[in-house]
A and B are shown apart, each in its own frame.
Chain A
Amino acid sequence: DTAVSQTPKYLVTQMGNDKSIKCEQNLGHDTMYWYKQDSKKFLKIMFSYNNKELIINETVPNRFSPKSPDKAHLNLHINSLELGDSAVYFCASSERQGAYNEQFFGPGTRLTVL
C-alpha cells in the first residue's frame, strides 16, 4: 500500500487552464504539506495543514488554493496556469505538526505548462 499517493503523476496543460492535484495519505498522520521542486531542484514549502486547518501559507500566488476535506486528503487547485508553474509538486505528511517530525513524501506530480 502506498503511504502517500498523488494523482495525477504527470500533467501537461496549456497556459491559462485550471488544474487540480490530489493527495491522500493512509498513515493516519495529522499534518500534510505541499512542496514545489523547480528545475534547479529547490524543494520549497507552499502550504501545510494540520487536522484540516491551514498552518503554513508561504508567499505563493493566490492562483494556488489548497483544500483539505479531511486530514487524510490535501488537494491543490491551480487557476490560470503560467509557464513558471512548471515543476514537480510533492505532497508530504507527518505524524503531527512540528518541523522535528519526519516527513513522508508522495511520488510527485510533474506539471508541464505549455
Chain B
Amino acid sequence: RKEVEQDPGPFNVPEGATVAFNCTYSNSASQSFFWYRQDCRKEPKLLMSVYSSGNEDGRFTAQLNRASQYISLLIRDSKLSDSATYLCAGSVDGNKLVFGAGTILRVKS
C-alpha cells in the first residue's frame, strides 16, 4: 500500500460547483499534512496546511480525520482558475514529506 494515496481523477466540474478530494495515508504516526497545487508543467505550490482542527482559507477548507487516516480538501464556488493538480503530502518522519500522485481538477464554463 502506498504511503499516501489519492484518486487521480480527473474531476470535471462546472464553474460554481463544490468539489471535494480525499487523500488517505498509511502511517498513523504521520504528523504534518499539506495540500499543494501544481499547474501543468509548473512547480508545486503550497495551498494550505492541514491542522487537526481543520483549516479554512476563503473558498478552500482542509480537514484531517486521524481515526480514518485521511485528509480532505473542499473547494467551494469553483473557478476556472482552480483547474490544476492537487497534491496531498504527509510527513512520514519528522523530516520527510511523502506526496500523493495528485488529483486532477478541471473546472469548465
Contacts and interface: CB of A to CB of B under 8 A. Distances in A.
A41 B46 contact: no
Interface residues of A, number: 21
Given A103-B46, A105-B45, A108-B43, A44 B99 contact: yes
Interface in A71-106: 90, 97-100, 102-106
Contact of B99 (A42, A98, A106, A107): A42
A97 B95 contact: yes
Nearest to A45: B96
What class of interface size applies to chain B in its complex with A?
A: 20 to 34
Interface stretch (B16-24, B53-61, B73-81, B86-94): B86-94
B96 A99 contact: yes
A105 B85 CA distance: 15
Nearest to A55: B95
B42 interface: yes
Interface in A46-63: 48, 55-56
Contact of B91 (A48, A90, A99): A99
B104 to A, nearest CB: 9
B43 A105 contact: yes
Contacts of B31: 99-100
Interface of B: 31-32, 34, 42-46, 49, 85, 87, 91-99, 101-102
18 contacts: A40-B101, A42-B101, A43-B44, A43-B99, A44-B99, A45-B98, A48-B95, A56-B95, A56-B96, A90-B44, A97-B95, A98-B94, A98-B95, A99-B31, A99-B32, A99-B97, A103-B46, A107-B42
Interface of A: 40-45, 48, 55-56, 90, 97-100, 102-108
